[in-house]
Structure 1
Amino acid sequence: MENFTFYKLDSGSDIPYELLLLADETVEAINQYIFNSVIYLLNDGMKDMAVLALYPNSSTELEIKNIAVTEDYRSQGIGSILIKKSKEIATENGYKTLTVGTSDTGFQQIRFYEKNGFIKKGIRKNFFTEHYPFPIYENGLQMRDMIVLAHDLSE
């Protein structure tokens, strides 16, 4: 990460919807959480290449609501760097658990989170069919349930 800058977005700054939409389907869905989230960006010196949105679910649980890396920087460990940063931020702020939700059809994402120390904690039944105005497909399957994964920060 020697040539990258990780920084917190100022509250008055424009929301980086272009990056957030890499991990979420609609601006409307993003707007459900983004105004109560803290946004972090990773910059390569010329442009922002990754985004991380963290949302406090409670005084003890912080949730990764959005994590996305631009196409040209994928499969280079950037996502794992963002997970590491989110764990550091959560720990520094006294959170006990870091959670994330992803689609039941997001097999690659589920493996990624498990590789980064998360374990399956629960299922939000029909999340994608109830919270989006149209069917969303991933890996040829309709997204229905959200898989919730958690990382215990006391470990």
Structure 2
Amino acid sequence: MEKFTLKKMDPDSDIPYQLLLLADETIEAINQYIFDSDIYLLSDAIQDIAVMALYQNSSTELEIKNMAVIGSYRSQGIGSVLIDKTKEIAKENGYTILTVGTSDTGFQQIKFYEKNGFLKKGVRKNFFIENYTVPIYENGLQMRDMVILAHNLSE
């Protein structure tokens, strides 16, 4: 297994939009949360291969606002490693709930989070209709609702 390093970015560092755009549709959408998030980069010996942005919703809830892995590293368990690291970070900082939101058309993402211990918690109706200026499609379907999934860290 290759050697990977995960490090929290310095707040003064350049925002890795190229990686973040793998999981979010626009820079405008990313800018809604990124300046109040902690950004972590996962790197191999050559390049940054994954990113995650974590946002404090409350004193007990940490939200994964963005998590992306570059194409050549997908389907190798990197995402699950990032989820495990996120759970560790959340527990170390006293959070009891870890949440994430994804599109109702993101079938692979929903399955991935459920495989990693998340349960469906709710739906934000028309989120993608109201928050994006143009329709966005995934899996041939227009994205409409955001599915919220949660993981109880005390279990």
For 1:1-155, what aligned pairs fall within 5 Å after superposition? 3-155=3-155
Shift of the alpha carbon at 1:45?
A: 1.1
Alignment: residue pair count: 155
Q: Deviations over 1:102-126 (max 9, x none)?
A: 0000000000000000000000000
1:10 aligned partner, one-letter code: D
Structure 1's consecutive aligned runs of 4 or more residues displaced over 2 angstroms after TM superposition are none
Structure 2 unaligned regions, length at least 5: none
CA contact (8 A) 2:2 2:44 kept: no
Structure 1 unaligned regions, length at least 5: none
Q: Give me the whole-angstrom Cα distance separating, in 2, the residues matched to 1:30 and 1:85.
A: 22
Shift of the alpha carbon at 1:25?
A: 0.3
CA RMSD of aligned residues (A): 0.7
Q: Give me the whole-angstrom Cα distance separating, in 2, the residues matched to 1:116 and 1:91.
A: 16
2:64 aligned partner, one-letter code: I
TM-score normalised per structure 2? 0.99
Comparing 2-11 and 16-25, the one that deviates more = 2-11
Q: Give me the whole-angstrom Cα distance separating, in 2, the residues matched to 1:2 and 1:76.
A: 11
TM-score normalised per structure 1? 0.99
Q: Deviations over 1:79-128 (max 9, x none)?
A: 00000010000000000100000000000000000000000000000000
Q: Give me the whole-angstrom Cα distance separating, in 2, the residues matched to 1:2 and 1:149.
A: 31
Shift of the alpha carbon at 1:2?
A: 5.0
Partner of 1:14: helix, strand, or coil? Answer: coil
